[in-house]
Amino acid sequence: MPDTHTPQKNHLLAALSAEVQERIFPFLELAPMPLGKVLYESGAAEHHVYFPTDSIISLLYVMENGASAETAVVGDEGMVGIALFMGGESTTSRALVQSAGFAYRLPGKRFKDEVSRHGDLLFLMLRYSQALITQMAQTAVCNRHHSIDQQLCRWLLLSLDRLSVNQLVMTQELIANMLGVRREGVTDAAGRLQKEGVIEYHRGRITVLDRAKLEQLSCECYAVVKAETDRLLPRVQPGSVQ
């Protein structure tokens, strides 16, 4: 494995005790996450769980006519494959790489074996599940009650929180698919943010120039999700799970 990648770059894995890490780390596989890669399709069996380190995975609900909308984003704070923890083997969501990078992949059986010990991993997954449910619920409310401009700000902030840089590689068409709106709406909203000096958009690259202003323009949904995530999943030291 490249020296620049370690399992501890995922905060769930980093918070596990040394004993748990010794049991599961040998079975982790570093997997590249290219932009647009589909990890799961709706209804398909899940055989692995993924712990992102520097990639972002989008969970999307896809309609019969092909239209889609994002329900949650997962980065270095979390895990993709929650259905294996919740007792199911599949989900109605599609898991799509939104921002390229890497993730550690763990076989589903090893994951479930460790959860069944009722130790660190189980307690972390319970807290993570609550944080993820909060994000999904807040996204549903946001999509119904807030403007495209506010939704775009929320989406950008959630994505930035899961990256070590202030730049995203993302087309406006893909953002529209994530938000479940027309591309023209995203184009107009991004144009307004760029005019106000909040972002710079050029050839599929979005650079955030003024994060403070971006937070001001966002709706309350971002703050709710961030506060709950920080409360449930603090950046703890290894082995400090309680």
Give CATH for domain 147-218: 1.10.10.10
Give start and end residues of each alpha helix (H) in the chain.
Answer: 11-14, 18-24, 82-86, 108-115, 120-145, 148-160, 172-179, 183-195, 211-217, 220-232
Site of tokens 């401009």: 149
Contact 43, 4 (CB under 8 A): no
* pLDDT, tens only, 10-53: 999 999 999 999 999 999 999 999 998 999 998 888 899 999 99
* Residues 65-73, mean pLDDT to the nearest whole number: 85
Q: What is the CATH number of domain 7-142?
A: 2.60.120.10
More confident residue, 9 or 5: 9
- Give the pLDDT mean for 114-143: 93
Residue 1 has pLDDT above 50, yes or no: no
- Check residue 235 and give its pLDDT: 60
pLDDT at 237 exceeding the cut of 50: no
pLDDT of residue 17: 93
Span 88-116, average pLDDT: 92
Q: How far apart are CA 218 and CA 146, in angstroms?
A: 9
- By DSSP bridging, strand 93-99 and strand 56-62 are antiparallel
Reported as a single tens digit per residue, the pLDDT across 176-225 is 877 878 888 888 999 999 999 999 988 788 999 999 999 999 999 999 99
DSSP state of 80: B
Residue 104: pLDDT band by 50, 70, 90 thresholds? very high
- 3, pLDDT greater than 80: no
Give per-residue burial for 84-109: e unless 16+ CB within 10 Å, then b: bbeeeeebebbbbbbbebbbbbbebe
Residue 186: burial class (beta carbons within 10 Å; 0-12, 13-18, 19+): buried
Domain boundaries, the chain: 7-142, 147-218
CA 69 – CA 143 distance, rounded (Å): 9
- Between 209 and 240, the more confident residue is 209
| Per-residue confidence (pLDDT) for residue 2, from 0 to 100 | 47
Q: Percentage of the chain with pLDDT > 90?
A: 65
| pLDDT for residue 238 | 46
